[in-house]
Amino acid sequence: PRTFAPMPIPLFQAYGVELEYMIVDRETLRIAPIADDLLLAATTLPGAELDEEEDATHPGSVGLGPVSWSNELALHVVEFKTGAPASSLPGLAGVFHESVRRANDLLAPRGAALLPGGMHPLMDPDSEMRLWPHGYSDVYSAFNRIFDCRGHGWANLQSAHLNLPFADDDAEESEFGRLHAAIRFLLPIMPALTASSPIMDGRTTGLLDNRLEVYRHNARKLPVISGRVVPEPVFTRTEYERVILGAIYAGLSPHDPQGILRHEWANARGAIARFERNTIEVRVLDVQECPASDLAILAAITAVLRAMVEGRLSDLEVIRRWQVEPLHAILLSVIRDADEAIVPEEYASALGITGKACRAKDVWQALIETTLAKEPGYPEFQSALNVILSRGCLARRIMRACGPGPSRDRVESVYRDLARCLAENRPYEACV
């Protein structure tokens, strides 16, 4: 099932949410490439539905009420997503947690469980990566042939995606143009809230968002695919298709003569336009330790974007003028330091925060206080956001719990705690 129906939906009238999780062995936490087995088992649950084109013996997507379960490129990853547009974000955390609970129940007899976080801290992608081998495998095989999907940037990255709709796209002042302007400007500091991947190959790397670091390099054979992660300043569909999609398709053409990858989703920027369903999909967010944390972050991001689009926080003409490189520089700083990254004064000022350069978490504190905190749904999200703003992003809490130069046993112990947080839908507070 698609995240959005084809009928255009006006700005901020609906939301699509996607959360990806790893499937691991319950005892060892090693990768368990059994997403196909899980999805087949899901067809036995009450209320399960399959689209007509699905292979009933190897389904890639199973509808379960408000949430659909789907496969991803890697066989050890399962995605939960809104099966239809959600009219609001409050209440969705519980809906997603119910899918987590049901999946864990199905995985338990198989000796497996779901694990949260942007990356598996101990995975060896060269030896453990297995592509989804069933329906849609021609697409995954094409990606693998061109880019070699054994690296971390394809095999080991779990994210939360936020889909925001727009109703028209034919002028700079269209809903698409205004939404794209706001998203591309806010995008560099979104990972300050969501960084959850500080450990790779069993070691700390000095970066708090290793998922984004490997993601931005995963198409290095054809750099046009991801660009600089921050989208180019284009604000109409015509310009977007010419500047961004046209360059991507031209770059792919010699490697993909059949046009298997000639689709909007081949674009690997941190936010991509999906004109086929009139949404912009935000993709720079590491998945958190539980749906309560993910939905709180999505609510904060959405509230700020809405205020930007409506002109309550920023002048859209000013932020439209920001080019890719200065925004990319901020993103690199946030990939490294997340919530403690220093945000330039001119960037904070464009968001209505005057004064000197400050930390990303201080920017978010101020933005949340002036937007989401004034909305009726805020109490549902307040506790999870307070953990992030007071104790640090999840990556920082993981680092604090693991300590410097952590042993494999210590890393496994911390990630077992994270698996319990996911199972219980509670933030990881790392009281150490």
Compute CA distances 239 → 43, 139, 214, 322, 323, whole Å: 43, 27, 28, 17, 15
Q: Averaged over 125-137, what is the pLDDT?
A: 92
Q: Averaged over 109-129, what is the pLDDT?
A: 97
Whether 362 has a pLDDT exceeding 50, the answer reads yes
Whether 3 has a pLDDT exceeding 70, the answer reads no
Whether 5 has a pLDDT exceeding 50, the answer reads no
What is the overall mean pLDDT for the chain? Answer: 95
Copy the structure tokens of residue 226.
């991801």
* Global confidence as pTM: 0.96
Whether 167 has a pLDDT exceeding 90, the answer reads yes
Q: Averaged over 17-41, what is the pLDDT?
A: 98
b/e sequence 100-139, b meaning 16+ C-beta within 10 Å? bebbbebbeeeebbbbbbbbbbbbbbeebbbbbebeebeb
pLDDT tens digits, 210-232: 999 999 999 999 999 999 999 99
What's the pLDDT score for residue 176? Answer: 96
Q: Averaged over 370-375, what is the pLDDT?
A: 98
pLDDT tens digits, 290-299: 999 999 999 9
Confidence of residue 2 (pLDDT cuts 50, 70, 90): very low
From CA 182, how far away is CA 176, in angstroms rounded?
A: 10
* More confidently predicted of 17 and 4: 17
- Single-letter amino acid, residue 393: C
pLDDT tens digits, 169-196: 777 789 999 999 999 999 999 999 999 9
Residue among 152, 127, 161, 141 at smallest CA distance from 30 = 127
What's the pLDDT score for residue 8? Answer: 85
From CA 187, how far away is CA 330, in angstroms rounded?
A: 10
Helical (H) or strand (E) element with 126: helix 125-128
Count of helices and strands (H, E) across the chain: 18, 13
What's the pLDDT score for residue 431? Answer: 56
Q: Where in 168-317 does DSSP place strands (E)?
A: 199-200, 203-204, 271-274, 279-286
Q: Residue written as tokens 């937007």?
A: 371
